[in-house]
Amino acid sequence: MCGLLGLVCPSEMDAAAARSAVGAAMRCQRHRGPDESGTWTGGEAVFGFNRLSMIDIEHSHQPLPWGPPESPERYTLLFNGEIYNYLELRAELTQRFGARFTTDGDSETIVAAYHYLGEEAVTRLRGMFAFLIWDGQKQVLFGARDPFGIKPLFYAAGPGGVAFSSEKKSILELTGLIGVNQELDRRALQHYLTLQYVPEPATLHTKIHRIESGTSFTLTPGEEPVTKRYWAPRFTPKPVGGPADAEALYSRIADVMSDSVRMHMRADVTVGSFLSGGIDSTAIAALAREHNPDLITFTTGFERQGYSEIDVAAESAAAIGVKHVVKTVSAQEMMDALALIVWYLDDPVADPALVPLWFIAREARKHVKVVLSGEGADELFGGYTIYREPISLAPFERVPGALRRVMGKVSTKIPEGTRGKDLLRRGALSLEERYYGNARIFRDDQLEKVLRTFNPAVSHKDITAGPYRDSVGWDPVTRMQHVDLYTWLRGDILVKADKMTMANSLELRVPFLDPEVFKVAAGVPLEQKITRETTKFALRQALRKVVPAHVLNRRKLGFPVPIRLWLREEMYDWARDIVMTSQTDALIDKNAVLRLLEEHKSGTLDHSRRIWALLVFMLWHGIFIERRITPVIPEPHYPVKL
């Protein structure tokens, strides 16, 4: 787990200047790899690396040279992530091709597989990764990002070259060198205020993009990357017959999850686990304890009743027999830390849950260097409460289209906050119109009152059209899962998981997001995912021997953060000050934002999520555009090395 930075420039570049620029740009992502740093220059490529060592700590230094016996330094690798099947893949490459390795780590496995298997090597990697391989013989760069988008990879291309990095802020340091501007992307801003995150492949800078999940690319100096999607998720639900078939399905799920956790425990350092009050993290922790009886788990919460899973998590920790560490977060701590957290994010993500995640990651790093977590279970096995919406909206499907449109118009006349208004509005819409992920921040009619640059031609359908087109004929719930894999999962869930843990030099691993787990999850039929009583039905049944009874059928809480209450009380003055001092007048109508804040404070309406999205953007703008806000970036310092 590390931070990479690669620069490919035309042959006339000043190598010394480029290497100096890369070295300087690496400093702002030092938190991703404080253990050691290195740079390398070869031909038209300059590589920089910050390492957080997990496997083969004494070796596997990067940038890593590798090659066959006749050309031992043909390739140079930058790699962020972990390959969990590296031992098996090394053995195969040795047996089939006589591959030779000089380290005991997973990094060499990637470049060796590329040499012997070509671009298809990326399909053999079981893990999370973003990597660059420079072929010094052909003067070509090859790279890829893992199937689900667990690890990030940004890039920008200009007349002076192409830069790749684990963090966008490092590329911002190189824009002058490669000749690209730092213009704000107004389309991406509108998507952010709708979705809560900036959807891939965009960022909030027009000239900086992301390599998409499940995508590889090649780059010849002087050109732009040529991308290729090597993996696309496909759900293939298989009918379950009688009880015997159902039990066989549960057994397959239990077996593949046990195997995935076992693989994800591979490390030469201490591995802990996050633990909330839900089934996902509890199952991961319980399975992890089978491999490490001294497992430490970590949870966070708040002192307000109804906004914390601390008690449930503590009960779970006692039930599975692990040491447990708790961090309680206050409103003041959130206010004090938010600007720094936004700096770590690179692009705004308006998910309040990422703030306590940053705090618990900081606490965990005092004890361990790696944690397991339960991200991905909801998308794979049908865990979100909103996935039950097709059941509640089923009666609307029987209403003729013309009448449904009338219902939609009627809903616009009902006052905001009236019970049933949103149900009527959503019931009048098709699935493609109403569902674009778990977070619904601003509707268009709300956004045009706040966003001065509102463009009615920009729609969430710009983002969801592809996943919906590829899932025609599937049941509504599976289509929603498919949309979430391309949007919500990689735009919100995995961004906050990566950024908040790496901000604290802590590696986070997600056993649910494993290709072998997906193969099993893809075949789960609708009735084994969603029922009128619960979600993730098959997963709950599969893990009933592992997960304590008090968690097994517990309603999903979704890690709520009490901003609804805090923005009326402790956070009100703080929020108002952010709005008043922000220099976003050309983009945001401050008076409209202040009206939202006052309506929220009075209790008239709940605008908390919309206000939070605007506050996060205003802080981001103050840091990256205005350069008015300069968070104090702490030097990485952690008592635990192993």
For residues 125 and 146, give the distance between their C-alpha atoms in angstroms, rounded to a whole number.
Answer: 8
Residue ranges of E strands in 19-166 = 36-42, 45-51, 64-66, 75-83, 127-135, 140-145, 154-158, 161-165
In this structure, what token pair is assigned to residue 526? 């609708």
CA 479 to chain centre: 20
Element (H, E) at 246: helix 243-264
State the chain's maximal CA–CA distance in angstroms: 76
Residue 237 burial (CB < 10 Å; 0-12/13-18/19+)?
middle
For helices 461-470 and 186-195, the axis angle rounded to 10 degrees is 70
Radius of gyration of the chain (CA): 24
Active-site entry in 1, 2, 111, 542: 2
Cβ atoms 187, 177 nearer than 8 A: no
Kindly give, in sequence order, each residue whose CB lies less than 8 Å from that of residue 481, ignoring residues fewer than 6 positions away. Answer: 235, 379, 380, 382, 387
Region class of 131: left (phi > 0), else alpha (psi between -120 and 50), else beta? beta
In this structure, what token pair is assigned to residue 608? 């908390």
Residue 34: cis peptide before it, omega within 30 degrees of 0: no
Residue 111 identity (one-letter amino acid): V
To the query of whether residue 28 is one of the catalytic residues in this protein, the response is no
Of 284, 260, 283, nearest to 272 (Cα)? 284
> In this structure, what are the phi and psi dihedrals at residue 549, rounded to the nearest 5 degrees?
-60, -35
Of 450, 440, 438, 423, nearest to 599 (Cα)? 450
- List, by residue number, the catalytic residues: 2
